[in-house]
């Protein structure tokens, strides 16, 4: 079961800036712009326009999103790839409510038969431009609960951000958010702490059928050769992925639906479990490669921060490969003043990467997670001044101890 949503940090612009420092989403992060020629002019999001037939249209030059009068996403069109993301005749950003009455252990179990009954929450009390004029605000009420959503397209970015606030007052209910995708995927990737792994989308065996509810960390990624979709989140990890057959110009193809699990309301052992206000943030990223999914997953969880200071501050450590993610830069626990850097390969392939320290380095040691030299030296490193070259296996986690000169 997904843990409760954690508060999302609020970003505030720096005022009266003499010198500023941009803190990247994670140590060693390098800004990556795969579509520099298609950026929306200026730093402000494009304004919301009316959609023919009712609803609203968001378009930043990279992604064109149609939101109908019900507040549902009926189109998310990847402009560069000339490709639709939402399955024909379907709608994304669809909230679905299930009865949740497991046979045992209310707060722990989710039983498969909850799928036998579902209510699509399509009635909207409000669908209107947001306060900034560049987003769409949607309000829905059901039972004793209320949902407020804000959908926005950041300028120059190919992602639809969905902010959801739920005042949850239900009992024995299960709330999900569905994204039916026009993607034929026989498997999908779920992110874990230091990598990802694949699950099949079929239910051909009893083992696969039993995975009607699964977990991920920062993202779920599906792809066909050359084009993929990622759904990233900042707080909740439960999901299900199914595929169905649809007609297509006299033949058939498949629709792959990702549903993220938002809230449950068990009555045992706490009859008021999770009742109250919860906030979630998700992003739909069409055209995403595995590298894009990794980057967007980190971006939504550790957003860029801007702070003021007396002068520029150089990064402590940088890396030249997008496939390598630095997750920790810290002083050694033994008080020696050595700097410990922990990183891993995140794309599932082998990579030769160079780390550059922002300080003079006198020596480099490969350590275990407790910052001790391993019994056997099994990782190849090469040092030239402040540059350390490492060779990583798929998903390999490495810790280096840098002695300062």
pLDDT score, position 382 = 83
pLDDT score, position 18 = 33
Summarize pLDDT for 237-280 with one digit per residue, the tens.
Answer: 999 999 999 888 788 889 999 999 999 999 999 999 999 999 99
**CA 39/CA 80 separation, integer angstroms:** 11
Summarize pLDDT for 120-131 with one digit per residue, the tens.
Answer: 999 999 999 999
Of the ranges 138-152, 216-230, 279-293, 295-309, which one carries the lowest mean pLDDT score?
Answer: 295-309
Summarize pLDDT for 172-195 with one digit per residue, the tens.
Answer: 999 999 999 999 999 999 999 999
Nearest alpha carbon to residue 90 among 263, 243, 249: 243
**CA 220/CA 196 separation, integer angstroms:** 9
Confidence check: pLDDT of 355 > 90 = yes
Name the CATH topology of 31-301: Beta-galactosidase; Chain A, domain 5 (2.70.98)
Summarize pLDDT for 1-49 with one digit per residue, the tens.
Answer: 444 444 433 333 333 333 333 445 554 555 445 444 444 444 677 889 9
Confidence check: pLDDT of 82 > 50 = yes
**Counting Cβ atoms within 10 Å, is residue 141 exposed (0-12), middle (13-18) or buried (19+)?**
middle
Confidence check: pLDDT of 159 > 90 = yes
Where do runs of H (alpha helix) occur along 44-137? none
317-404 is classed CATH 2.60.40.2220: yes
377 pLDDT band, cuts 50/70/90, is low
Mean pLDDT for the chain?
A: 89
Confidence check: pLDDT of 154 > 70 = yes
For the chain, how big is the Rg over CA atoms in Å?
A: 23
pLDDT score, position 10 = 35
- The residues of the chain that CATH labels 2.70.98.30 are 31-301
**CA 117/CA 305 separation, integer angstroms:** 43
Q: What's the token pair of residue 227?
A: 């084009």
Residues 75, 89 contacting (CB under 8 angstroms)? no
The dihedral through the CA atoms of 104, 106, 112, 115 has a sign that is positive
pLDDT score, position 212 = 95
- DSSP state at residue 359: S
Summarize pLDDT for 306-323 with one digit per residue, the tens.
Answer: 888 888 888 999 999 999
**CA 181/CA 254 separation, integer angstroms:** 9
pLDDT score, position 24 = 55
Secondary structure (DSSP) of 142-161: ETTEEEEEEEE--TT---EE
Nearest alpha carbon to residue 92 among 112, 68, 58: 68
- The residues of the chain that CATH labels 2.60.40.2220 are 317-404
Q: What integer is the mean pLDDT of 108-122?
A: 96
pTM, entire model: 0.87
Summarize pLDDT for 268-309 with one digit per residue, the tens.
Answer: 999 999 999 999 999 999 999 999 999 999 999 999 888 888
């Amino acid at each position: 079961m997904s843990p409760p949503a954690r508060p999302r940090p609020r970003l505030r612009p720096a005022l009266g800036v003499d010198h500023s420092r941009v803190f990247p989403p994670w140590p060693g992060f390098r800004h990556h712009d795969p579509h520099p020629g298609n950026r929306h002019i200026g730093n402000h999001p494009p304004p919301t326009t009316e959609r023919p037939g009712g609803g609203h249209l968001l378009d930043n030059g990279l992604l064109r999103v149609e939101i109908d009068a019900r507040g549902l996403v009926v189109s998310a069109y990847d402009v560069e790839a000339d490709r639709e993301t939402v399955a024909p005749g379907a709608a994304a950003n669809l909230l679905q409510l299930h009865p949740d009455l497991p046979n045992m252990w209310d707060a722990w179990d989710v039983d498969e038969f909850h799928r036998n009954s579902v209510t699509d929450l399509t009635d909207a009390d409000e669908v209107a431009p947001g306060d900034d004029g560049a987003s769409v605000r949607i309000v829905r009420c059901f039972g004793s609960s209320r949902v407020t959503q804000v959908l926005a397209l950041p300028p120059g970015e190919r992602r639809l951000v969905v902010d959801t606030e739920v005042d949850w007052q239900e009992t024995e209910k299960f709330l999900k958010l569905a994204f039916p995708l026009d993607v034929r995927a026989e498997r999908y990737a779920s992110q874990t702490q230091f990598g990802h792994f694949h699950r099949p989308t079929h239910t051909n065996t009893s083992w696969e059928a039993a995975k009607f509810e699964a977990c991920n960390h920062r993202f779920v990624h599906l792809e066909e050769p050359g084009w993929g979709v990622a759904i990233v989140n900042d707080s909740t990890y439960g999901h299900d992925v199914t595929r169905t057959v649809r007609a297509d110009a006299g033949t058939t193809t498949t629709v792959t639906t990702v549903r993220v699990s938002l809230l449950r309301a068990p009555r045992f052992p706490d009859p008021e479990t999770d009742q109250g206000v919860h906030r979630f943030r998700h992003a739909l990223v069409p055209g995403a490669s595995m590298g894009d999914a990794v980057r967007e997953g980190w971006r939504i969880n550790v957003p860029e921060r801007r702070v003021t200071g007396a002068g520029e501050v150089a990064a402590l450590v940088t890396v030249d490969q997008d496939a390598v993610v630095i997750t920790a830069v810290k002083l050694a626990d033994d008080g020696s003043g050595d700097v410990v850097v922990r990183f891993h390969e995140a794309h599932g392939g082998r990579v030769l990467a160079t780390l550059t320290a922002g300080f003079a380095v006198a020596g480099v040691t490969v350590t275990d997670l407790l910052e001790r030299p391993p019994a056997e030296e099994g990782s190849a490193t090469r040092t030239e001044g402040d540059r350390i070259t490492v060779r990583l296996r798929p998903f390999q986690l490495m810790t280096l101890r840098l002695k300062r000169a």
